Amino acid sequence: MSPAEGNSSQAQQPAKKAMMSDGKEAVIQVHTSATSAIKILTEIEHIFKVDVDKRLLEGFGKAADKIIAEAKRRRLGKEILLQYQTALSQECEETHKGHTVCAAILLLPYLFHENPDRLYVIDKVANAPTPVLLISGNPFSAGCEMSLRIDGMDIVKPEDISMGVGALLGIYFIFGVKYAENVKKTLNFLQCMVGINSNDKVPIGVIKMVKALL
């Protein structure tokens, strides 16, 4: 069944249009569930032969401590670092690895001096036309909720932040959405981390960061 089809007894779900790289519009059907995030990841794996979620977890497993250490050294993302340290002190050791990956993802845009609001927002309104991860509550809390939003409309609800970032990358590539300029280096870094090739040239600064962190 295609995304535009559904049970006739239900109201038709709204669709969203995203601008493709060639200037055309692509319609994105709205499915607010974790299953839909998995579908996006499955589609990107089918197209590019890459398990994005797995690559992100492996990549941040290697880079997370370095990202956090560099953010501390430069005194960046102080609020995120405070929440991270609080979570480590209050929760059992089994959760620490997940918290470390979460902190690294949240801190990554700061290392490139980019605006994290184009990648994610925490307890704020997000109306960017490009994909953005909306986080409600403390990102290190079990009660935190996430949704992937485009142009003010939620399209999927990922289970965790790595799935959310993976689905966000998937939306960019499946629909050919242009990278938001003020988070382009961060997205290029994530693209390199998961191993998706494109015709766009990766900035030298991003390549240096990839070599330093991975």
**Residues 185-210 pLDDT 10s:** 999 999 999 999 888 889 999 999 99
Q: What pLDDT score was predicted for residue 35? A: 60
For residue 2, being part of any structural domain is answered with no
Phi, psi of 61 (to 5 degrees): -60, -35
Among candidate residues 116, 114, 135, 132, the one with its CA nearest the CA of residue 124? 135
CB atoms within 10 A of CB 62: 11
Which regions in the chain score pLDDT beneath 50? 1-33
Q: Count of domains in the chain?
A: 1
For residue 81, being part of any structural domain is answered with yes
8 Å CB contact between 31 and 3: yes
Q: What pLDDT score was predicted for residue 121? A: 95
Domain membership of residue 130 as a residue range: 15-213
Q: What pLDDT score was predicted for residue 201? A: 87
Q: What pLDDT score was predicted for residue 75? A: 97
For residue 10, being part of any structural domain is answered with no
Q: What pLDDT score was predicted for residue 64? A: 98
Could you read off the pLDDT of 111-126 as tens digits, one per residue?
Answer: 999 999 999 999 998 8
Among candidate residues 57, 64, 21, 25, the one with its CA nearest the CA of residue 41? 57
For residue 24, being part of any structural domain is answered with yes
